[in-house]
Amino acid sequence: MVIVVFRSRMRPDADLATVEALGARMYELGSAMPGFVSYKDFAAEDGETLTLVEFETEEQLLAWRNHPEHLEVQARARDEFFSEYAITVSEPRRSYHFNQPDGRVETLGAS
């Protein structure tokens, strides 16, 4: 699994309706890519947004990153929408989850 953490801030003059429409298209396109696992957006009170994206492999993530339509929107976002952003790509060392029926379950790594 490969996890992308995308932190960003919008420019004050960004056309938010266009950002929303392009975001919906990118989700449609990205979620149909081989290896796509999940996508979640979060917004902080200070205006920063955090997006978490998961792909099964690095190669599948790179295919998404380099998709021609995605490349066009990336360039447009730098020119028109974002005042700043930072991207971190990582692979988990350890993973576990908890739920009432099963308790804590390790899914990756040592206990």
Per-residue pLDDT averaged across 89-111, rounded? 86
pLDDT at 111 over 70: no
Adjacent-strand bridge partners of 102: none
| Percentage of residues in the chain having pLDDT higher than 90 | 86
DSSP per-residue string spanning 52-93: EEEESSHHHHHHHHT-HHHHHHHHHIIIIIEEEEEEEEE--S
Side by side, the strands of the sheet bearing 49-55 are: 36-43, 49-55, 2-10, 82-90
Q: Report the CATH number that the domain containing residue 90 is assigned in CATH.
A: 3.30.70.100
Query: Model-level pTM?
Result: 0.87
Which structural domain range is residue 41 located in?
2-108
Cβ pair 37, 56 in contact under 8 A: yes
For residue 110, what pLDDT band results from cuts at 50, 70 and 90? low
Structural domain count of the chain: 1
